């Protein structure tokens, strides 16, 4: 059970990777419109990350994942594989980008609403975002991850939604997924006291219906079992002396 603490100099490098991740998400925003395929979104991100940023898209070939980003539409919870499918008006789509720069990772995702979506879908995206914020704002040395998971769960369930159990946030650094696991619900297995220099993601997956998921035949795409909508937001965060720094937030960008 080793959680790697990062030094000031290492966090400086992770900040660079985090900012590139945030810039890639900002860049793709204007392309997320009805009629574009998720393959096209993947190609635009791949080119931007590899050529403009001179960085590496971490998902590509990660445990056999075939593309450079994840695109998860409507009832897809996470790990959607970009393909020929085109976005249509009313879709909600999560774009999850992980960039490696100078061997350090930045990992972040956002929801995008295509055109005009039903009010319930918009509300789900908003509550999923707020669930992540509730967790992030608790981060400081001495706080237990279990309390953060509990607060996220209470927030989401308090708004009538459910929290996915099978996938979680994670420590991150020179390794994409490292310790600790960051569960977004109350669990005795989430017993980790935060220390300065820990860096991890918070990325709650919130379902409009029931919490259960199913894995598709491609062995990546995760959907809600009841086919309800799902939304997710993710940031990479460092624990500081007295609080937190969101490494994947651009200057001036609201949380
Ligand atoms: N970016 C995802 C996360 O937040 C992981 C994607 S793994 C992949 O942890 F292989 F699907 F890309
Ligand atoms: Co992540
Ligand atoms: Co991610």
Q: What are phi and psi for residue 63, nearest 5 degrees? A: 45, 35
Q: How many residues does the chain have?
A: 255
Report the alpha-carbon angle 115-120-121, nearest 5: 45
pLDDT tens profile 203-241: 999 999 999 999 999 999 999 999 999 999 999 999 999
Do the beta carbons of residue 100 and residue 78 sit within 8 Å? Answer: no
Ligand 1 neighbourhood includes 176 CB (under 6 angstroms): no
CA of 35 to the centre of ligand 3 (A): 24
Ligand 1 neighbourhood includes 88 CB (under 6 angstroms): no
Q: What are phi and psi for residue 128, nearest 5 degrees? A: -65, -40
CA of 98 to the centre of ligand 3 (A): 6
Q: What are phi and psi for residue 234, nearest 5 degrees? A: -145, 140
Residue closest by Cα to atom 8 of ligand 1: 59
Ligand 1 neighbourhood includes 65 CB (under 6 angstroms): yes
Atom of ligand 1 nearest to the CA of 176: 9
Question: Cis link prior to 202 (omega < 30° from 0)?
Answer: no
Query: What is the pTM assigned to this prediction?
Result: 0.98
pLDDT tens profile 119-151: 999 999 999 999 999 999 999 999 999 999 999
pLDDT tens profile 47-96: 999 999 999 999 999 999 999 999 999 999 999 999 999 999 999 999 99
Ligand 1 neighbourhood includes 42 CB (under 6 angstroms): no
Ligand 1, pocket-test mutation among 68, 95, 106, 176, most atoms within 8 A of CB? 176
Task: Map residue 214 onto helix, strand or coil.
Answer: strand
């Amino acid at each position: 059970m080793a959680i790697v603490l990062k030094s000031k100099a290492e966090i400086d490098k992770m900040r660079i990777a985090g900012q590139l991740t945030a810039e890639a998400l900002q860049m793709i925003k204007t392309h997320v419109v009805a009629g574009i395929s998720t393959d096209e979104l993947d190609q635009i991100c791949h080119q931007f990350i590899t050529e403009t940023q001179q960085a590496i898209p971490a998902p590509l070939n990660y445990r056999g994942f075939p593309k450079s980003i994840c695109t998860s539409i409507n009832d897809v919870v996470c790990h959607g594989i970009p393909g020929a499918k085109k976005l249509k008006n009313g879709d909600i789509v999560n774009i999850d980008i992980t960039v490696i720069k100078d061997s350090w990772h930045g990992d972040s995702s956002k929801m995008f609403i295509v055109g005009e979506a039903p009010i319930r879908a918009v509300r789900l995206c908003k509550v999923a975002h707020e669930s992540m914020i509730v967790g992030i704002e608790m981060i400081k040395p001495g706080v237990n991850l279990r309390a953060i998971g509990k607060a996220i769960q209470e927030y989401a369930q308090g708004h009538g939604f459910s929290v996915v159990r099978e996938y979680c946030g994670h420590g991150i650094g020179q390794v994409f997924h490292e310790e600790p696991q960051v569960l977004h619900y109350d669990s005795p297995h989430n017993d980790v006291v935060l220390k300065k220099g820990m860096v991890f993601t918070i990325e709650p997956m919130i379902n409009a219906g029931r919490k259960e998921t199913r894995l598709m035949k491609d062995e990546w795409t995760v959907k809600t079992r009841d086919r309800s909508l799902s939304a997710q937001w993710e940031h990479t965060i460092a624990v500081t002396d007295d609080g937190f720094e969101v490494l994947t937030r651009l200057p001036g960008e609201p949380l």
